[in-house]
C-alpha cells in the first residue's frame, strides 16, 4: 500500500527490565528502566514510516513533554502528524511494561489523551480517508471511534485493517463487517471469539468464525510457530524465523506494519514473509519504536 492512514493510540512506554516478573504480593528487583515512545497506533505508524510507506496518523496526545516527544519521533520517519490533536489539560497516554529475560512482557496502560479520540475527531479528518489506500486501526482508543473510522474507510473504498488488541469479547458485528484484514494472535483470537485456540485446527475454526462475521482475511500470528492465513477460500501457514528474543514489545505492531508496507492487495506470501523478517529483528532489540528495523536490515535478514 503506497499510502497508509493509522488511526490509534500514542503512549510513552516505561519499560522495566528484570529477570522475572513478580507474582502477587512479591517485590522483584529490576535491572533498568527506559522511556521509549510506544502505543500500538504510534508503533505501527512509526514502523510504516521507517519502512518506506507514505504514512499519516490520527490520534491524540497531551500538551506535555511526552506528547511533544511522541510527535517528534514520528516526524523523524516522515509520518504526517497533522491529524494528531494536542489536548491541553490531559496527559499523554502511558504504558508500564515489565520485561523478563525471555523477552516476554506484561503491560498496563493509562489511556490519557487516547480516550479523547471520538467519532467527531475521526469524521473531521474525512479528507485523509479519501487520500489513502488503507486504514489501520487498533483497540487502544474508544471502540466508537474505531467503528467510525472503519465505516468511513469502507465508504471511500479503502482497505480496512484491524489489529484487535487489546482484545475484547464485545466487539460489535457492525465493526467486523467492515474489516478486510485482521491480525490477532492465538490468545486474542480466543478472547474475540470465545472459542479454544490450543491447537492449529482450533485456531482455524476460531478464525473462520470471524470470516462468518464478514472479515475477508484473518492473519493469526503464532509467535515462533509462524502465521496462519485464513479466508473463505484458503488456509495457509507461513513459517517464522528463529531468533533469540530479548523483548517482544511491539513485535506484533512491527509485523503488521511491515506486512502493510509491502502488501499490494494480493501478494500475501511476500508481505507476510517481509513482516516475519521485520518482527524477528525487532524481538532481538529492546523497546517499542526503538526496535523497528530499516528496510535494508529486513531485506538483508537471513
pLDDT in tens, 243-274: 998 888 889 999 999 999 999 999 999 999 99
Confidence category of residue 302, pLDDT binned at 50, 70, 90: confident
Annotation marks residue 253 as catalytic = yes
Reduced 3-state DSSP string for 164-231:
CCCCCCCCCHHHHCCCCEECCEHHHHHHHHCCCCCCHHHHHHHHHHHHHCCCCEEEEECHHHCEEEEE
- Which residues are bridge partners to 134 per DSSP? 4, 159
Task: Give the other-Cβ count within 10 Å of 35's Cβ.
Answer: 13
Task: Give the other-Cβ count within 10 Å of 202's Cβ.
Answer: 15
- Answer for the pair 18, 26: CB distance below 8 angstroms, yes or no: no
Nearest partner of 5 among 73, 69, 54, 61, judged by Cα = 54
Question: Residue 248: what pLDDT?
Answer: 84
Residue 155's domain comprises 3-9+40-92+113-300
In a domain, 29, yes or no: no
- Which residues are bridge partners to 93 per DSSP? 11
In a domain, 132, yes or no: yes
Answer yes or no: is pLDDT of 1 > 80: no
Query: Which sign does the torsion angle of CA 36, 37, 41, 43 carry?
Result: negative
In a domain, 183, yes or no: yes
In a domain, 28, yes or no: no
What domain count does the chain have?
Answer: 1
In a domain, 21, yes or no: no
In a domain, 124, yes or no: yes
| CATH code for the domain in which residue 65 is found | 3.40.1190.20
Report how far residue 301's alpha carbon sits from residue 85's, in angstroms, rounded to the nearest whole number: 37
- Answer for the pair 106, 90: CB distance below 8 angstroms, yes or no: no
In a domain, 17, yes or no: no
Report how far residue 297's alpha carbon sits from residue 300's, in angstroms, rounded to the nearest whole number: 5
What is the rounded average pLDDT of the residues 19-28?
92
Query: Which sign does the torsion angle of CA 261, 262, 263, 264 carry?
Result: positive
Answer yes or no: is pLDDT of 102 > 80: yes
Answer yes or no: is pLDDT of 287 > 90: no
Q: Please give the angle made by the CA atoms of 50, 258 and 195, to the nearest 5 degrees.
A: 140
Nearest partner of 219 among 156, 269, 174, judged by Cα = 269
Question: Residue 63: what pLDDT?
Answer: 96
Report how far residue 276's alpha carbon sits from residue 264's, in angstroms, rounded to the nearest whole number: 17
pTM of the model: 0.93
In a domain, 24, yes or no: no
- Active-site choice (13, 64, 253, 273): 253
Question: Residue 257: what pLDDT?
Answer: 98
- Which residues are bridge partners to 156 per DSSP? none
Amino acid at each position: 500500500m503506497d499510502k497508509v492512514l493509522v488511526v490509534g493510540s500514542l503512549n510513552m512506554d516505561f519499560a522495566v527490565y528484570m529477570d522475572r516478573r513478580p507474582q502477587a504480593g512479591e517485590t522483584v528487583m529490576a535491572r533498568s528502566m527506559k522511556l521509549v515512545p510506544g502505543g500500538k497506533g504510534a508503533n505501527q505508524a512509526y514502523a510504516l514510516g521507517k519502512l518506506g510507506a507514505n504514512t499519516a496518523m490520527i490520534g491524540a496526545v497531551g500538551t506535555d513533554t511526552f506528547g511533544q516527544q511522541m510527535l517528534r519521533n514520528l516526524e523523524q520517519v516522515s509520518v504526517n502528524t497533522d491529524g494528531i490533536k494536542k489536548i491541553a489539560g490531559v496527559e499523554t497516554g502511558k504504558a508500564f511494561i515489565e520485561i523478563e529475560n525471555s523477552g516476554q512482557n506484561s503491560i498496563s496502560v493509562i489511556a490519557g489523551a487516547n480516550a479523547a479520540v471520538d467519532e467527531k475527531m475521526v469524521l473531521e479528518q474525512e479528507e485523509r480517508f479519501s487520500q489513502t489506500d488503507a486504514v489501520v486501526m487498533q483497540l487502544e482508543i474508544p471502540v466508537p471511534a474505531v467503528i467510525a473510522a472503519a465505516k468511513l474507510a469502507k465508504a471511500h473504498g479503502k482497505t480496512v485493517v484491524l489489529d484487535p488488541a487489546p482484545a475484547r469479547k464485545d466487539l460489535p458485528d457492525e465493526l467486523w463487517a467492515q474489516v478486510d484484514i485482521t491480525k490477532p494472535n492465538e490468545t486474542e483470537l480466543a478472547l474475540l471469539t470465545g472459542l479454544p485456540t490450543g491447537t492449529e485446527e482450533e485456531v482455524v475454526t476460531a478464525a473462520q468464525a470471524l470470516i462468518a462475521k464478514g472479515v475477508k482475511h484473518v492473519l493469526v500470528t503464532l509467535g515462533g510457530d509462524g502465521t496462519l492465513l485464513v479466508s473463505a477460500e484458503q488456509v495457509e501457514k507461513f513459517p517464522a524465523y528463529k531468533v533469540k528474543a530479548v523483548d517482544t514489545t511491539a513485535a506484533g505492531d512491527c509485523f503488521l506494519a511491515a506486512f502493510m508496507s509491502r502488501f499490494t492487495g494480493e501478494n500475501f506470501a511476500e508481505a507476510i514473509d517481509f513482516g516475519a523478517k521485520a518482527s524477528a529483528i525487532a524481538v532481538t532489540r529492546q523497546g517499542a519504536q526503538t526496535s523497528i528495523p530499516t528496510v535494508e536490515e529486513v531485506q538483508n535478514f537471513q
